[in-house]
């Protein structure tokens, strides 16, 4: 009987994608809107892909109605560009991740899924290249809500549909590398495990009060214990 719903972020947590992701978005925005706006330097960390597109295009002076008009096409082209150009060598798998994910997947009391700002199709491709995709049966993605804070409820509902179990409180474990991951965990009073393999240091992450903070998951046993506690 599963006891824990364990939700992993993708970028900065499971993997790091070198350059190609940002370039795919820059190209898509140029193709659709004729300009890339602030895409080359904009802070993407922990944000929904959909929010990133909107924030970046607002810096060009476009109004929300015009951004909305081009949004679906920009999303489609971004995913297409990314899938066309991303190769296995662009994807770095973070320390300990293969071992930790494998250990969790073998544990009968764990349901393993994703909670990420990625669009589902491009996020799945990021994980398929290093053969991590099959560990995660379902997830909550940028396609599912307008804010990251709405995603935990989406993941909990999908888990219920798959398992018949309503995971609540600290039995929902959200693992991520930014304050956005930590903050969304607080919405349902979930457990949050922050990891400093993305843009933030351990002390920066601790300032957001996650339940646990790790430098990385190289010590698989310690990470596993924190998740299962
Ligand atoms: Mg992240």
Average pLDDT across the chain, whole number = 96
**19 pLDDT above the threshold of 90:** no
Q: What's the rounded mean pLDDT across residues 221-227?
A: 97
Q: What's the rounded mean pLDDT across residues 12-33?
A: 94
Residues 89-117, buried b or exposed e (16+ Cβ, 10 A)? ebbebbbbbbebbebbeebeebbbbbbbb
pLDDT digits (tens, 9 = 90+) for 131-169: 999 999 999 999 999 999 999 999 999 999 999 999 999
Give the Cα separation of 45 and 184 in Å (integer): 14
Report residue 179's pLDDT band, with 50, 70 and 90 as the boundaries.
Answer: very high
Tell which residue, 2, 10, 47, 9, has the closest CA to residue 168.
Answer: 2
**2 pLDDT above the threshold of 80:** no
Measure 75 CA to ligand 1 centroid, in angstroms. 19
Residues 13, 177 contacting (CB under 8 angstroms):
yes
Residues 125, 86 contacting (CB under 8 angstroms):
yes
Measure 74 CA to ligand 1 centroid, in angstroms. 21
Position 29 scores a pLDDT of: 96
pLDDT digits (tens, 9 = 90+) for 186-215: 999 999 999 999 989 999 999 999 999 999
Residues 166, 186 contacting (CB under 8 angstroms):
no
Q: What's the rounded mean pLDDT across residues 78-91?
A: 96
Give the Cα separation of 155 and 208 in Å (integer): 22
Position 46 scores a pLDDT of: 85
- Global confidence as pTM: 0.94
Report residue 38's pLDDT band, with 50, 70 and 90 as the boundaries.
Answer: very high
Measure 47 CA to ligand 1 centroid, in angstroms. 8
Position 18 scores a pLDDT of: 86
Residues 49, 160 contacting (CB under 8 angstroms):
no
Measure 9 CA to ligand 1 centroid, in angstroms. 6
Question: Longest Cα pair distance anywhere in the chain, in angstroms?
Answer: 53
Q: What number of other Cβ atoms are within 10 A of residue 141's Cβ?
A: 25
Alpha-helix runs per DSSP H in 86-132: 97-106, 120-128
Measure 13 CA to ligand 1 centroid, in angstroms. 6
Determine the length of the chain.
229
Measure 161 CA to ligand 1 centroid, in angstroms. 26
Give the Cα separation of 28 and 80 in Å (integer): 9
Measure 181 CA to ligand 1 centroid, in angstroms. 7
Element (H, E) at 220: helix 220-228
Measure 142 CA to ligand 1 centroid, in angstroms. 13
% of the chain exceeding 70 in pLDDT: 100
Measure 14 CA to ligand 1 centroid, in angstroms. 8
Q: What number of other Cβ atoms are within 10 A of residue 61's Cβ?
A: 9
Measure 46 CA to ligand 1 centroid, in angstroms. 5
Measure 76 CA to ligand 1 centroid, in angstroms. 21
Report, in angstroms and rounded to the nearest whole number, the Rg of the chain calculated over CA atoms. Answer: 17
Angle subtended by helix axes 120-128 and 20-33, to nearest 10: 150
Could you tell me the domains of the chain? 4-17+92-228 (3.40.50.1000), 20-85 (1.10.150.240)
Q: What's the rounded mean pLDDT across residues 121-138?
A: 97
Measure 16 CA to ligand 1 centroid, in angstroms. 9
Q: What's the rounded mean pLDDT across residues 55-83?
A: 95
Measure 200 CA to ligand 1 centroid, in angstroms. 10
């Amino acid at each position: 009987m599963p006891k824990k719903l364990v939700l992993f972020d993708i970028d900065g947590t499971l993997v790091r994608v070198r350059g190609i992701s940002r370039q795919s978005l820059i190209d898509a925005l140029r193709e659709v809107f004729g300009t890339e706006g602030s895409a080359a330097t904009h802070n993407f960390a922990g944000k929904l892909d959909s929010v990133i597109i909107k924030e970046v295009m607002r810096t060009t002076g476009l109004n929300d109605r015009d951004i909305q008009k081009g949004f679906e096409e920009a999303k489609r082209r971004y995913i297409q560009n990314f899938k066309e150009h991303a190769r296995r060598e662009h994807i770095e798998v973070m320390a300990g991740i293969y071992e930790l994910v494998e250990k969790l997947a073998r544990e009968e009391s764990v349901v393993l899924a994703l909670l990420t700002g990625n669009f589902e199709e491009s996020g799945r491709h990021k994980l398929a290249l290093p053969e991590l995709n099959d560990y995660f049966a379902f997830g909550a993605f940028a396609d599912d809500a307008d804010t990251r804070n709405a995603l935990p409820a989406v993941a909990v509902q999908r888990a219920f549909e798959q398992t018949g179990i309503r995971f609540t409180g600290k039995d929902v474990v959200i693992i991520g590398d930014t304050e956005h991951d930590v903050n969304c965990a607080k919405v349902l009073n979930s457990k949050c495990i922050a990891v400093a393999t993305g843009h933030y240091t351990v002390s920066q992450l601790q300032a957001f009060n996650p339940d646990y903070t790790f430098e990385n998951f190289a010590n698989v046993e310690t990470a596993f214990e924190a998740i299962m506690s």
